[in-house]
Structure formats: C-alpha cells, structure tokens
Structure 1
Amino acid sequence: MKVGNKLTIQIVVALILGIIIGSILSPMYDSQQWVQWIDQYIFNILGQLFLNMIFMMVVPIVFISIVLGVVSVGDPKLLGGYGLKTLLFYLATTAIAITIAMVVANILDPGEGQSALLGSDEVAEYRETELEGGSTGEALQQGFDQTVINLIPTNVVEAMGTQNMLQIIAFAIFIGIAMIAKKDKAAGLIRLFEEANEVVMWIVLAIMKYFAAIGAFGLVATAFVQAGFGAIQQLGMYFVCVLLALFIHMILVYGAAVKFLAKKSFIWFIKGFAPAMGVAFSTSSSSAVLPISLKSAQENLGVRKSISSFVQPLGATINMDGTAIMQGVATVFIAQLSGIDLTIMQMVTVVLIATVASIGTAGVPGVGLVMLAMVLTAIGLDPAAIGIIIGIDRLLDMTRTMVNVTGDAAISLIINEQENRKEGAARQET
C-alpha cells in the first residue's frame, strides 16, 4: 500500500468541503440547535474517530521505527552525528521563524488601535479558567531543566501510555544500540521488529485509505463551524500576519533549504509530502500525523528509513516553527494592544525563550498557547490577553501544524541527501 496522488486529491477535496460547509453553518451555530447537533454527532464523531485511530498507531510506529533506524545506522557515533545535526537544524529554523514573525508583525502593526480588546470578556474568562490566578513564571523556570531530566523515562510503560515522545525516543535508542552491540544474538529480535513494522505500517495505510478523507472533513468542518469567519473578521490583521509569516517561512526558509542544501525541487518536495500536509492541517497535531509523515517521506521523497525514523519523530517533539511564528506575532500584537513598544532586548528574549521552550513540547492541538503564556510572562506582558486570540487559534493551529511537519520532512530530506553525497564521494575515492 502506497501513499499516492489519489489519496492526496481525496484529502484536499475533503478539506475544501469541510471549510465550505463549516463556514456556511457557522453563523447559525449559536442560535440553531440542529447545527449544534450536526456538529456534535456527525462532524465531531467522524473527526475524533479518525484522530483516535491515528493516535492509536503513533507509539508503536515511533518506537519500532526508531529502533530499526538505530539498528540500520549500525554505528552509535554516526547516530550521534545525526542527532547533533538534526538538533542544530531544528533550533536554527525555529529561531529564524520567530524572527520572521516579529518583523512581519512590527511592519503590519496588527494591534494598533484595538486596545479595547484587553477589556473583553474573553480575557477575564481566560484568566479565570486557564491561569486560575497563578503564574506561568515557575513553569518557565523549570521547563528546560525538567525537559533534560525527563529525557530518560523512569517508567517506560507510563511514557508510552502518556505518549511522551522524548522518553519513547530515548528508550528506543537504548534498545537499538543494545541490538547493535548484540547483533549476532539479536538477529531474531531484529527480524521480529522488521515484521512488526510491516504490520503497523499496513494498519496506518489502511486507516489512511479508508478513513482519511472522511476524518479530515469532520475535523475541518467542526473547526470552522465553531470558529468560522466571524472570529477572523474581528482579528483580521492578526490572522493575516500569522498566515503571511507562515507563508514566508515555508517558501523562503524551507524552499531555499530544500533547493540549495538537498538540491531538490521544492515543488517536487511539496507534491511528495502533500498527503501528510493535508492530514496535518485537519488534525492540528504533529504527533497524530507522524505515521503518515514517515510513510510520505520514505516512499515519496526517498528518505531512507534510518534517517526518517529518527529525524521526524524528534522533529514532532522539538521542531515547532509554525508555533514559534504564532508566538512571535501574538507577542507583538499583545504588546501593541497594551501600548508597549518592545525593546530590542525584549525581542531577543522572545526569540531565545520561544526557541528553548519548543524543546519537549507535546505535539498536540493548542499546545502553542501554553508556550505563549511562558513567553508573555517572561517579558512582563499579561498572559490573560491570550483569551483575545483563542477564538481563532484552532484555525491557525491547523496551518502552523502543517508548517511544523513540513519542516520535519525538509530537514530529514536534507540530511538524507547530504549523507548520500558523502557516501558517493567516499565510493569515488576508493
């Protein structure tokens, strides 16, 4: 079973239908019970069933793929080289992403003349329900050191049960290295993992073939029914700033990286990775789309499993370029609402904190708002102002998740092509 063009077309059609139907029903959502019924019992059920089926496969796919990836590399030192290169790429693109976002926001001034929004009910509600009168400062101070400490799981079963991707990746690397060390005696175990990989990939592709389009329709329809274009109109310039920054980062940063570092056509790359991008848009979850991202990168882009199965799961956890863009625009937007001109040092602080905070963040819908609260607190802005943008965050989350997973695939392709050229040069020398 292969991720092909037919599936891509089906997903795109489903997304368009979901946006159109959701937008038509959205104005009636608050006043008409039958619209709420359709949303809850049709759109929501279709979307959540698909999402649950994909989430069901995330842990086995990640664990098995990384173990086999480590084994196929065969040299722990080479694996360490992959890891360092991947981490540097991800941190660099995240820092660039948030810088682009802040430049765009400072040029377009999305918060100018809208200070009245700070007194809205949404701000008070967010303060009471999400912040609960507490501070995010302690979470920020503990974030990085706890992330490092929590890399190693104390309970592997719990890590898998809670889908803690960094811990699952760490445990899988240990298992893979041990299998390399005992390769002669572990031949049967390696074969078992290879057979298990075939089984879980078959399940993933079956889910995609029969449920992806229906599930994507349900997820997108319910998002637009509940948010709709009314929320977009109220915060139009903020919405435009985020989308523009995402577009610039996608085309200039990823496009240039694929063209000049991987030496591949960016259009070819987009065509090959389109199925995963469609699922990412509908699910708003880097973790949920991971099985499809792996399959698309390996089958359509030609990325070897040993690289794809290590780089992309790691990216689903630590590479949050799209999320960083939202944080950059939102920070400038909220500062402008508050009548505050951010200093150069404050902007640098935002870039550094958002980049570091992205490490270890769960790849689930809405997590960017938690990270944003940390950033706002660090530079003295009121995190309750997040309540202003929460109404349209679900719609933007869909787009930025698509950017996140595209970045993961781009980096895996770059590393793959660099390794291919290195191996080709080594063969010529011999």
Structure 2
Amino acid sequence: MTGNKKLGLTARIVIGMAAGIAVGFFFKWLLAGQDERVLHLLGLDIPLKALFIDGLFHIGGEIFIASLKMLVVPLVFVSLVCGTCSLSDTSSLGRLGGKTIGLYLITTAIAISLAIFAALVIAPGEGVQMQSDATFNPSEAPALSQVFINIFPSNPIESMAKGNMLQIIVFAVLFGLAMAMSGKTGERLSAVFTDLSDVIMKLVTLLMNLAPYGVFFLMAKLFTTLGFETIASLAKYFGVVMCVLLIHGIVSYGIILKLLSGLNPLIFFKKMQDAALFGFSTSSSNATMPVTMEAVTNKLGVKNSIASFTVPLGATINMDGTAIMQGVATVFIAQVFAVDLTLGDYLMVVLTATLASIGTAGVPGVGLIMLAMVLQQVGLPVEGIALIIGVDRLLDMTRTAVNVTGDAMVSCIVGKSEKAFDQAVFDDVNAGSKEENIDFHHLR
C-alpha cells in the first residue's frame, strides 16, 4: 500500500500476529502430534516440522529477538550517559533514583496484593489434583549481601558482554557524572555520545519496520507447539492471572498515572500500543527496551535525561506482571495442598515478592526463582510450581506487556515531577508516529 492508505505499524504488527497465530494453528492441525510427518510434493519428501517449525519459524523468530537484544546494551549505555551528563544538577540523581525505585516497589506491592485478593475470592486451586510425580528444582537465589555486591561491576566490558543491566546502569551513571565534571573535555565527548544516541535510535526505527515479520515467525512457532490441553485443565488459574494482569495494567496504572501526574490515561495507553505488542510477542522486557525507550521519549514526551534512567531500571527491576503470577500461584498452590495461610503469611508474601523483585533482577528464570523463594518463606512445597509451568508461556507474554507499560507509566510520572516532560508531545496524537521510508537502493 502507498500514500495515505499505508497501514500504521500497530496495524501491521497485529496483522502479523494474527497471521502467525492462524498459521500456527494450521500446522498444529496438520501435524496432529506426528512430529515426523512428511509432505510429498513434486516428488520431494518435505519434513514439515523440521522445515517450517524448527526451521523457518524458529530461525526467523530468533533472528528478530537477537536483533532487538543487539541494541539493548549500546542503547542503555549511550542514552544513560547522555542523560546523566546533561543533568543540570547532578545532585538530583539521588532524588531521581529514589522516586523511580520507590514507584516501582509500590506498583509491585499493589500488583501482588491485588493478585492475592482475587485468588482468595475466586479460589482457583479448589478441586485441582496434585500429581504425585510433579517435581521442580529452582536455581538457587543469591544471598542478599551478594546481590548488593553484584550491582557494582569489576569489569564493565564483561558486564556489557553478559548484558548485566544493573552493572551497566551503575557504570553508565558514573561515566556520565565524570563527563559532566570534566569541563570542555566532557562537552566534546558529550557531543559524540549524542550523535551515537541518534544513530542507535535510527537503527531502532529500522528494526521496528521489520517487526511484523518477526512477530509472525514468533507467533507461528508458539501456537504450533502450544499445549492447550494443559491450559484447559487449569482454566481457572489461567483466567484469574490473566484478569488480574489486565486489571492492573489498565485500571491500576491508569489511576496511578492520573493521580500522580494528571496525565490522560487514554492518550497514554494509545501511545503505548506498539511497545505493549512488542512486549507481548517477545516475552522479554529487555528485548523490548529499545521500543519502550522510543515510545517514552518520542511519543509520550519524557526527556531523555529521565527516560534513559527509568526505562532500563524498570526493565531490570519492575516485575509487576511476575508479582501477579506469584500472588495467584501462592494461593493456588496453598489450596491444592490444602494448606491454610494466615494473614501474616500473606503479608510476608507481599513483602518478600516486592523486595525480591530487585534482589533477583539479574538471575535467569527470575519469575520461578522468585516464586520458589516466596513459597519457601511461607512453608509451601516448591514442587507445586510444576503444576503451573505448562500454562506459563501465554501468561508470560501478557505479564511482559504489563511490565513494559509500567516502565513507561513510571517514566511519565517521574518526568513530570522533575519538570523534564513535554506536555505538547504527549498531547499530540501524531507525535512519534511518523514512519520513515528507508530506501535501501541508496545504501548500495
């Protein structure tokens, strides 16, 4: 399509997602549990699973995710250095950090409290039979003292290579502060970083134009392999988690945004569509970070000096969606095992999960590790986690979209309170929506 009839990015992503889901269902029906099924076409034997699911869909999806992750470390480091060195008052950094972390912890506490309340009212675990052979062995969470030690990098290059976000954030902030205090030398270097930031954001724009294809591959593979039989057997648990995620992501965030900043939630949610869809399709806040950053700065009007700090930090420690899963799962597992939890136990669950959202930020499989910590804290068997693993994939996609939306919401509130917010950009429905047509012929 050309001219005024050209579809916007959101519409194209939705089309790619719908087409991927349809193709995934088609291949699921075509294979019908026969992984070795071969299609005879033009005298050739074509192995469907190997060629399409493990081949085309897998490769296309992984390349898309890898392309997004490729931008995360340079984007976080460069934008955070730019933001820190441009702060007119470097002493305000502590206030900025306090507001941001405080808001993230408050929204996490609200999320898990809402989840526990909903699970207690609906009781999704009643009537569910525990399988005797179900097992789950979580990775060991680090000690609290080691968590604080690990925040500070001994080798920043190694931190970047491993994608350790908290260490990258600390180094970038210190580097930006040093630049701000270096006079003319810092100003020259600041200009270089500003140019680098512009180039990286152009690269984000380029990859966003390819997003519908990447989303198609991801959805096609997922819905080919997704086991809906497990979801049906745990429909009540699945429904409770999904409903609480939607309520928190829309109602809670909308109310908090309106009360603390006075901004229009409807405009906010409309401008967060692309980032939320990215988060849903990738199931990774880190992989979605370039898109979130673009939406927060170009569409919502938050200055880069704020967004470069709040968005990477949120992608690392803001786990509202995971906290909701933990709250419902704790009540669900307690009901399955017929364990009565006291009010003190539930308060301990809220406290443990909220603090653990920071404490386990850099650990792989963070959601299940945090849940294991919570269960152990109130004396519930961690084997119960094996019950919910089968339905966790779709829920993980939704809670990532919630987390990404929460990162942007906190960024808007902090930006508004720090007077680093452009109201005109936020109110402009077309801000940041102009898509650049990239002529690849000129790149030869």
| Pair in the same fold by TM > 0.5 | yes
Residue pair 1:26, 1:228 contacting (<8 A) in 2 also = no
Which residue of structure 2 lines up, in the alignment, with residue 427 of structure 1?
Answer: none
Quickly say closer, same or farther: Cα 1:360–1:284, change in 2 above 3 A: farther
Q: Distance in 1 between matches of 2:219 and 2:362?
A: 18
Which residue of structure 2 lines up, in the alignment, with residue 224 of structure 1?
Answer: 223
Which residue of structure 1 lines up, in the alignment, with residue 59 of structure 2?
Answer: 45
Which residue of structure 1 lines up, in the alignment, with residue 258 of structure 2?
Answer: 259
Which residue of structure 2 lines up, in the alignment, with residue 403 of structure 1?
Answer: 402
Which residue of structure 1 lines up, in the alignment, with residue 342 of structure 2?
Answer: 343
Q: Distance in 1 between matches of 2:172 and 2:359?
A: 17
In the TM superposition, what is the alpha-carbon distance from 1:277 to its structure 2 partner?
0.7
Structure 1 segments (4+ residues) deviating >6 Å? 421-424
Match runs of 1:30-429 below 5 Å: 30-34=33-37, 36-37=49-50, 38-114=52-128, 116-119=129-132, 121=133, 123-124=134-135, 127=136, 130-131=137-138, 139-140=140-141, 142-209=142-209, 211-362=210-361, 366-420=365-419
Q: Distance in 2 between matches of 1:63 and 1:312?
A: 12
Larger Rg: 2
Residue pair 1:44, 1:218 contacting (<8 A) in 2 also = yes
Alignment gaps of 5+ in structure 2: 1-5, 38-47, 424-444
What letter matches 2:392 in structure 1? Answer: D
Higher deviation after alignment, 245-254 or 162-171: 245-254
Deviations 1:35-75 (A, max 9, x none): 53322112211111000001111000000011011112132
Q: Distance in 1 between matches of 2:331 and 2:244?
A: 13
Quickly say closer, same or farther: Cα 1:297–1:363, change in 2 above 3 A: farther
Q: Distance in 2 between matches of 1:26 and 1:413?
A: 42
SS of residue paired to 2:341: coil
Q: Distance in 1 between matches of 2:363 and 2:240?
A: 23
Per residue, is there more helix in 1 or in 2?
A: 1
Higher deviation after alignment, 257-266 or 41-50: 257-266
Residue pair 2:279, 2:404 contacting (<8 A) in 1 also = yes
Q: Distance in 1 between matches of 2:75 and 2:420?
A: 28
In the TM superposition, what is the alpha-carbon distance from 1:318 to its structure 2 partner?
0.7
Quickly say closer, same or farther: Cα 1:227–1:421, change in 2 above 3 A: closer
In the TM superposition, what is the alpha-carbon distance from 1:143 to its structure 2 partner?
3.8
Which residue of structure 2 lines up, in the alignment, with residue 14 of structure 1?
Answer: 16
TM-score by length of 1: 0.89
SS of residue paired to 1:271: helix
Q: Distance in 2 between matches of 1:410 and 1:5?
A: 27
Residue pair 1:287, 1:364 contacting (<8 A) in 2 also = no
Deviations 1:387-423 (A, max 9, x none): 1111111111000000001000000011112233999
SS of residue paired to 1:148: helix
Q: Distance in 2 between matches of 1:361 and 1:64?
A: 25
Q: Distance in 2 between matches of 1:421 and 1:195?
A: 21
SS of residue paired to 1:203: helix
Residue pair 2:296, 2:408 contacting (<8 A) in 1 also = yes
Quickly say closer, same or farther: Cα 1:208–1:294, change in 2 above 3 A: same
In the TM superposition, what is the alpha-carbon distance from 1:157 to its structure 2 partner?
1.3
Q: Distance in 2 between matches of 1:234 and 1:62?
A: 42
What letter matches 2:34 in structure 1? Answer: S
Residue pair 1:86, 1:411 contacting (<8 A) in 2 also = yes
Q: Distance in 2 between matches of 1:256 and 1:326?
A: 21
Residue pair 1:63, 1:169 contacting (<8 A) in 2 also = yes
In the TM superposition, what is the alpha-carbon distance from 1:186 to its structure 2 partner?
1.6
What letter matches 1:387 in structure 2? Answer: A
Residue pair 2:289, 2:311 contacting (<8 A) in 1 also = yes
In the TM superposition, what is the alpha-carbon distance from 1:363 to its structure 2 partner?
7.4
TM-score by length of 2: 0.87
Higher deviation after alignment, 196-205 or 313-322: 196-205
Q: Distance in 2 between matches of 1:363 and 1:29?
A: 39
Higher deviation after alignment, 372-381 or 15-24: 15-24
SS of residue paired to 1:176: helix
Q: Distance in 2 between matches of 1:223 and 1:378?
A: 34
What letter matches 1:99 in structure 2? Answer: S
SS of residue paired to 1:288: helix
Which residue of structure 2 lines up, in the alignment, with residue 428 of structure 1?
Answer: none
Query: How many equivalent pairs are there?
Result: 406
Quickly say closer, same or farther: Cα 1:36–1:361, change in 2 above 3 A: farther
Residue pair 1:290, 1:313 contacting (<8 A) in 2 also = yes
Q: Distance in 2 between matches of 1:29 and 1:289?
A: 33
Higher relative contact order (CA 8 A, sep 6+): 1
Residue pair 2:412, 2:421 contacting (<8 A) in 1 also = no
Residue pair 2:21, 2:223 contacting (<8 A) in 1 also = yes
In the TM superposition, what is the alpha-carbon distance from 1:24 to its structure 2 partner?
4.2
Quickly say closer, same or farther: Cα 1:198–1:167, change in 2 above 3 A: same
